[in-house]
């Protein structure tokens, strides 16, 4: 795992999944590797009441009911659609579910404007077709077809980014549970094995890009993942991801709790300002998600490690915040400048300390980008 830039969940948590599987005496649907209760425990972490010999860390932070509804959906014959704002952890939840259920989260199709029907069904090895003709050997199954053949979970990221004809191709797969291969005379149908399902994700901000048809919507159970607004939950998410970052880069650097509080408070302030804005021009282009908070902190940590004195400072954090959130120039810079003068400056005068350094770092970053 050390030689992988980013190990999939089933590799990263392989030892833990093996252990959970060894103690799991619950009923398992279809070809599932873990029972529904163990899938939930793997994702949400263990509690003292579980009576386990070891602790299972929490990996996804959100309402328990969302995870339970997702698991129940996958145990049925319906697809699962995780929908919400960018950065709410939809893809991470989909990966964890696939890893726990199938021990394979890599059967993924990425939805884009260039995604074609071949990407969710099959294509052909041209050189083999020329040499030997079309056959099962010269066919290249898509990740979705592979999931069907193995009775596993297939994933479709950014479903609403793909075109309507691609979405329509999913309807027959979700309804009939097979794919026809008209180019072949014999053995020309691939049937889904028990355990097959699809987890799709969609950003609510993409509404109107390629809206889902009513027919496709009926074949999915929707689980809406809200933006995390609970400060405690958000703190846990940021700490969890930051610990992973430091471990991955072998960085020995402390993240002072006071700076984490400053980061969380800044995002809370900016979200409040965005909610009260009367037009889009007064809102940052950023979704101000938890994932973007993690990105700001990651940028500040790496900058401090490589170009600073290996100590995370408030000024560096402010510079990372401005650099990460200012995507439109001059609109976003004007919004951030207004925030610094209207909110951070009074707070700096009142509390001083890190808030003063945060204010100075933010001003310097804005001046640099202006």
User: What does the pLDDT read at residue 206?
Assistant: 61
Residue 320 to residue 335: CA distance in whole angstroms = 16
**Which pLDDT band holds residue 2 (cuts at 50, 70, 90)?**
low
pTM above 0.75, yes or no: yes
| Token pair listed for 77 | 């014959």
**Looking at the DSSP assignment, which residues form a beta bridge with residue 108?**
155
Residue 214 to residues 39, 201, 344, Cα–Cα distance (Å): 31, 17, 47
Residue 343 to residue 271: CA distance in whole angstroms = 13
- Nearest in space to 159 (alpha carbons), one of 72, 222, 106, 73: 222
- What is residue 192's DSSP assignment? P
Residue 82 to residue 87: CA distance in whole angstroms = 12
Contact 226, 271 (CB under 8 A): no
Measured N-to-C along each axis, helices 257-276 and 231-248 cross at an angle, to the nearest 10 degrees, of 130
Residue 361 to residue 66: CA distance in whole angstroms = 39
Contact 143, 153 (CB under 8 A): no
| Token pair listed for 235 | 């703190």
Residue 16 to residue 13: CA distance in whole angstroms = 5
Q: What is the mean pLDDT of residues 279-298?
A: 86
Q: What is the mean pLDDT of residues 195-212?
A: 80
Q: What is the mean pLDDT of residues 338-349?
A: 94
Residue 153 to residue 108: CA distance in whole angstroms = 9
User: What does the pLDDT read at residue 210?
Assistant: 67
Tell me the pLDDT of the chain averaged across its residues: 90
Tell which wins on pLDDT, 274 or 146: 146
User: What does the pLDDT read at residue 209?
Assistant: 60
The secondary element (H helix, E strand) that includes residue 108 is: strand 108-110
- What is residue 187's DSSP assignment? S
Q: What is the mean pLDDT of residues 135-156?
A: 95
User: What does the pLDDT read at residue 207?
Assistant: 57
3-state SS record for 22-80: HHCCCCCCCCCCCCHHHHHHHHHCCCHHHCCCCCCCCCCCCCHHHHHHHHHHHCCCCEE
Residue pLDDT, tens place only, 237-281 = 888 888 888 887 788 888 888 999 999 999 999 999 988 888 878
User: What does the pLDDT read at residue 245?
Assistant: 80
Strands 108-110 and 153-157: parallel
Contact 242, 92 (CB under 8 A): no
**Which pLDDT band holds residue 228 (cuts at 50, 70, 90)?**
confident
Residue 185 to residues 134, 182, 337, Cα–Cα distance (Å): 10, 7, 67
Contact 235, 328 (CB under 8 A): no
Q: Is 184 exposed, middle or buried (0-12, 13-18, 19+ CB in 10 A)?
A: middle
């Amino acid at each position: 795992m050390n030689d992988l830039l980013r190990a999939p969940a089933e590799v990263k948590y392989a030892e833990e999944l093996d252990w959970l599987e060894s103690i799991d005496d619950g009923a398992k649907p279809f070809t599932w590797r873990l029972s529904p209760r163990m899938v939930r425990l793997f994702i949400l972490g263990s509690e003292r009441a579980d009576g386990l010999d070891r602790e299972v860390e929490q990996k996804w932070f959100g309402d328990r009911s969302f995870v339970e509804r997702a698991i129940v959906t996958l145990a049925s014959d319906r697809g699962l659609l995780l929908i919400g704002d960018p950065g709410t952890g939809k893809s991470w939840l989909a990966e964890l579910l696939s890893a726990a259920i199938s021990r394979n989260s890599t059967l993924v199709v990425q939805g884009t404007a260039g995604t074609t029907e071949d990407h969710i069904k099959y294509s052909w090895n041209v050189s083999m077709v020329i040499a030997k003709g079309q056959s099962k050997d010269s066919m290249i199954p898509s990740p979705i077809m592979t999931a069907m053949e193995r009775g596993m979970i297939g994933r479709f990221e950014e479903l609403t980014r793909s075109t309507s004809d691609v979405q329509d191709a999913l309807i027959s797969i979700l309804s009939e549970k097979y794919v026809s291969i008209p180019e072949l005379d014999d053995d020309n149908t691939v049937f889904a094995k028990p355990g097959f399902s699809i987890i799709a994700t969609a950003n609510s901000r993409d509404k109107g890009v390629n809206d889902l048809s009513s027919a496709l919507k009926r074949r999915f159970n929707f689980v809406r993942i809200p933006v995390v607004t609970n400060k405690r939950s958000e703190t846990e998410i940021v700490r969890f991801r930051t610990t992973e970052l430091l471990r991955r880069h072998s960085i020995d650097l402390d993240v002072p709790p006071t700076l984490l509080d400053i980061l969380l408070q800044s995002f809370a302030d900016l979200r409040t300002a965005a909610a009260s804005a009367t037009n889009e021009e007064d809102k940052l282009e950023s979704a101000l998600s938890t994932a973007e908070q993690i990105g700001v902190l990651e940028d500040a940590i790496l900058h401090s490690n490589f170009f600073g004195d290996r100590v995370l400072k408030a000024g560096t954090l402010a510079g990372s915040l401005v650099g990460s959130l200012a995507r439109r120039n001059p609109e976003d810079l004007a919004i951030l400048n207004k925030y610094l003068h209207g909110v951070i400056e009074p707070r700096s005068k009142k509390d001083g300390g890190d808030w003063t350094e945060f204010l100075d770092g933010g001003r310097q970053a804005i001046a640099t980008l202006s």
